[in-house]
Structure 1
Amino acid sequence: MTMKRRNFLKATVGARAAFGGFQGKAWGQAKAVRIGYTLSATGPYAVGAGIIQAPNYALWIDQLNSKGGIMVKGEGRRPVEYVSIDDRSEIETAVRFYEKLMTEDKVDLVLPPWGTAMHFGVAPVANRYGYPLIGPTVTSNKLKELSLPYFFVVIQQPDSITRAMADVLKEMKAQGKISKVGLAYVTDLFGIELHAALSGFLRDVGLPIAVTKSYPLGVKDVAPMLKEFKGAGVDAFVGCTYPPDNILMTGQAKEVDYNPAVYMTAVGTAFPIFRDRFKGAEGVMGTAGWNPKFKTPGSKEYFEAHVKKNQKEPDRWGSAFTWASLQIMERCVGEVGLDHKRIKEALDSEEFSTVVGPVKFVKGMNVSTPGMVGQWQKGEFEIIGPKSWATSSAVVPKPAWA
């Protein structure tokens, strides 16, 4: 499954049309703030980029320029202009373009690409040239080993994500609703780390893993693997997935009539297109981090604005963290201007109020937001764990595929 290039351009570069069409006093007097980035319009990362980051980048520039631009301390509002390309899901292409943005184009700010591997390629470049980079779609325990003081990560990391997954499974086991756990994971950095972290937590809570399988990024057929899980009697299936393989896997689970009591996957499950593709996806669990029912500041307004601008709902995980990262950058620029060092200092020292709740960075990591698990229930991806953030209780066993 790939996202058509014209749809991607409409969501990202198309947002620049709003810049050209804006009428107001600021356009004639203020120099544009130029913001650079790459996103994947083609290749295996296109689905995630097109659902999570592209619509939010488009919404942000529209909202800013409708007000006359971004507020810059000491200067007032300045219009925003994007400088972006399709990185084709190629790390080398992204790295080269970010180098160009920072050394030749000398853009004022940068926004991140999509996905863990892309962030690992680009973050050292941003750090080298002193550009603050706030990552909303990167999860890796290896981040703790890096020394990248200009790199900040707003989304939850593998330890907190998998702890939440393990806690849900532990509770289901205690209730006698599951007995045998199986894990499948995509063999890129994200999948490998998620699998390793989850395996450790499951051992800690006394849930042995009966079957473990891996598969490559871009896989075309996982039906034989799913039949092995089914044949082994695995009644709690967990997939450490990216969007394309998640959609493939779920479709083939239905085809081979594999309907375990718990069916839990990772990136892509919280996408509204996942719900719609699988006729509600009732009972499917997955990684999560936000719900429009949250009482966090601006959640309802964000949801409505996203739907109005993009004619589709935001997903219930990365979209809100992307929006939070933009809220944080906007606040920093309003408070300290465009000086990169001062933006970094603000990121290091302040707590930020966002749609995902309060965000506080410690050594570049958001320490405020716990890992969460959601479940599709009657059209909404309800948060079922941890209980302090829950919007509903888990429904187990999962209903039959529609």
Structure 2
Amino acid sequence: MSITAVIGGQWGDEGKGKIVDLLSKDSKIVARYQGGANAGHTVYHGDLKVVLHQIPSGIFRKGCHCILGNGMVVDPIGLMEEIEMVQSHGFDTTGQIHVAMNAHIVTPIHKAIDVATEAANNNRIGTTGRGIGPTYVDKYDRVGIRGVDLLDANCLREKLNAKLDSAIQTGQLPENAKDQLQDQFQKFMVCAEQVALLVSDTFALIHEYAERGENILIEGAQGTLLDVDHGTYPFVTSSSASSAGISTGLGLPTNKVDTIIGILKAYTTRVGTGPAPTELFDEDGQKLRDLGQEYGATTGRPRRCGWFDAVAAHYSARVNGLTEVALTKLDILDHFEEIKVCVAYKLDGKEIKNMSEVLHCLEDVKPIYKLFEGWQETTTGIGSYSDLPEKTQEYIQFIS
């Protein structure tokens, strides 16, 4: 019996959903601890392919409790749409989904502010426009709407109206926002009433299961290099996407976590703006994108592709305290004659091996590569490390 955390080791899109879905078959709880509908976890259940944004990836496992922890920002409209989508495939979610009482709630106001802010700044950060950042701002300004507020519809409506008045008065939204958001408000209130039935004491639930020695799986969203503290600030998400967020996002001390698995893609991808030292602008970059079908699960935006960044991976392993690594999409590299791995950065003539040293000026570094001869044979379907081509094994050994 154990508590296992699955963390994105790069800029997100590493394949966490698939790994969590695989591991969840033996878990009594799968819990998300940060982020919100800006996540996009692709899960396969038999021939069924589903993209989940808020519901933890254990939802297709009968009897598995799915916790949306207090570190998340929960969008009731999006959550109900997801629940209906899951149920449309024949799955009964009754009693499975639990929303933390102190999780903060994304409203139509937050989404409108998010879109308006990005437009005013020419999409500088490249957010998903789903209200994540503004909701976290309210959380830290101590004026947020929380899961517990959904339990009283009258109080919720008052807080919603007060929030809208404040947003208009401060110039975050135009005067006609009340008219523009009216339909969304009505939809929000209907969904909030339904999500209120899912609000519960998730702190007690996860600790009770931990004390009984049950298997618990903790699911990270986005990736370590998008962590608000340890990522490529300001081009980051608004939460703690590294393992450090587990304690604050679930109320579960990390000394109770037995295994921390870092998910790393065999090459590098990033969505949106911000530095990516190994990004390729040539045929190899396009080849990685096409073969890997690298388009965002949440936004559909094409991902920026590049060679594996071992400097970033080493930094991520340190930040998270990784005990294991799951390497994904290795088979995409089957088609390359030559493969490169970034082993250091160069800045002002100096060789840099610690990402933390240049995190503030990462856009100025140049990658230093080690070359590997491609194996150019298929690795798809191979179930044992010893059966992999020798050159593939050499690549894995080096980056691990």
TM over 0.5: no
Name the structure with the higher helix share: 1
TM-score when scaled to structure 1? Answer: 0.28
TM-score when scaled to structure 2? Answer: 0.28
